[in-house]
Amino acid sequence: MTQTTYDIVIVGGGMVGASLAYALKNSSHRIALVEAFNFKTTQQPSYDDRGIALSYGSQRIFDTMGLWQQLSPHSTAIEHIHISDRGHFGATRLSAQQEKVPALGQVILARAMGQVLNQAMAESDTLDIICPKKVVAISQESNQATLTLDDKQQISSKLIVAADGANSTIRRLLDLSVTEQHYQQTAITANISTERPHEHRAYERFTEHGPIALLPMPDNRCSLIWTVKTGDEGPINALDDAAFLARLQTEFGYRLGQFTQVGKRSHFPLKLTQTEQTIQDRIVFIGNAAHNLHPIAGQGFNLGLRDVIALADVLIDAKDCGDPRHLHDYQQWQQQDQDNVIKATDTLVRLFSNNNVVLGHGRSAGLIALDLLPPAKHWLASKSMGLGKKQPRLARGMTL
């Protein structure tokens, strides 16, 4: 029987909520995590067959949290990144060697990350996992908030952390405003085998329909994120494997030789969703519940993980976890990071999804300039690695 009053209740056991539960494992707080899906089934939406690019900064965070050893057998290092624009000259190449780091990032199968995070949570004896249970109602009082679950159970907490994803139930129940930007683009994802080895190189290729990313995976496979105009995903996914690969080959080219095999395909409509006020009385929104990004730069979870460590840093020694001063401290820390990443991602989508000729020339000039200018390249690399701002303790190698 679980308790009914807590210091912190995390709603959502996806990558972000589970990472927060683990980051707080050494605290003396009473913590619960509520998740709608049974972790043991394959329905858990966060943990599918996508390859997730973790920045070098995120890898260091997991290392400090003590989870990298479990994650690393499932990961593939990104040693080079190749960025190009279909139909235009110019490409930019980033390399770990030039940036003097062992890797620019790591690609990890979302499903494997789920297994590691779920196992880590299951081993914690200070965490109550309430699952499978859905939050269906919420009320806020001055010193706590109360959740009602779908079995009518009520649980109260000094702080509710909404980590319940892009279509956040908590946000809907509180009738909060969101900024939404529909890109009219859909991402098709699948794992692909290639004729030539990827040699730990990630590719980002911009086309007039949207970007194509290929991330290196084990056994010389690549994780594909192919952005198409919304409406085109139906006919493309209806193609048989050979026709699908031929179509992809036309868009991407032959840098990896012939595409030889494709695994299960999925698709995700792409939009930017931003919760306007991420802190409320006794409630804070993190991860996709706060900001759902276009995957063009692979920043969504990396940003969510920085939300996690900033929040864990302010909560770890808090007496009253829902005290507005702590929530403001968190917001001060993360707001600028969130605004910067959202703006940069949105600008990239607009710049590289437009087949305007003038913009096209500007883009290729930009890519050539970036390739020739080491300081600009270094700046881009440090951004993709998730470095370059004042860091919470878990990002500086200090445990909580």
Ligand X SMILES: Cc1cc2nc3c(=O)[nH]c(=O)nc-3n(C[C@H](O)[C@H](O)[C@H](O)COP(=O)(O)OP(=O)(O)OC[C@H]3O[C@@H](n4cnc5c(N)ncnc54)[C@H](O)[C@@H]3O)c2cc1C
Residues that bind ligand X (CB under 6 A): 11-17, 34-37, 44-46, 50, 52-53, 134-135, 163-166, 169, 187, 189, 225, 268, 287-288, 295, 298-302, 304
User: For residues 363 and 371, what is the distance between their CA atoms, to the nearest angstrom?
Assistant: 12
Minimum CB distance to ligand X smaller for 39 or for 333: 39
For 92, residues 6+ apart whose C-beta sits below 8 A from its C-beta are: 81, 82, 83, 84, 367, 370, 371, 377, 380
The three-state secondary structure class of 265 is coil
From residue 142, give the alpha-carbon distance in Å to each of 158, 173, 319, 322, 324: 9, 18, 16, 10, 11
Minimum CB distance to ligand X smaller for 12 or for 360: 12
First-to-final CA distance of the chain: 29
For 371, residues 6+ apart whose C-beta sits below 8 A from its C-beta are: 90, 91, 92, 93, 377
Shortest distance (Å) from residue 372 CB to ligand X = 27
Q: Are strands 5-11 and 154-162 parallel, antiparallel or unpaired?
A: parallel
Phi and psi at residue 44, to the nearest 5°: -50, 115
Q: Residue-wise over 118-150: b if at least 16 C-beta within 10 A, else e?
A: bebbeebeebbbbbbbbbeebeeeeebbbbbbe
Both tokens of residue 379?
A: 């700046």
Minimum CB distance to ligand X smaller for 77 or for 368: 77
Minimum CB distance to ligand X smaller for 10 or for 314: 10
The neighbouring-strand residues paired with 234 are none
User: For residues 386 and 59, what is the distance between their CA atoms, to the nearest angstrom?
Assistant: 10
Shortest distance (Å) from residue 29 CB to ligand X = 20
Minimum CB distance to ligand X smaller for 45 or for 257: 45
For 10, residues 6+ apart whose C-beta sits below 8 A from its C-beta are: 17, 20, 21, 31, 32, 33, 34, 161, 163
Q: What are the counts of helices (DSSP H) followed by strands (DSSP E) for the chain?
A: 12, 20
| 29, 315 contact by CB (below 8 A) | yes
Q: Cis peptide before 132, with omega less than 30 degrees from 0? A: yes
Minimum CB distance to ligand X smaller for 155 or for 245: 155
DSSP state of 319: S
Minimum CB distance to ligand X smaller for 105 or for 360: 105
Minimum CB distance to ligand X smaller for 134 or for 247: 134
User: For residues 103 and 68, what is the distance between their CA atoms, to the nearest angstrom?
Assistant: 14
CA 70 to chain centre: 19
- Residue number with the smallest Cβ distance to ligand X: 14
Minimum CB distance to ligand X smaller for 223 or for 364: 223
Minimum CB distance to ligand X smaller for 195 or for 276: 276
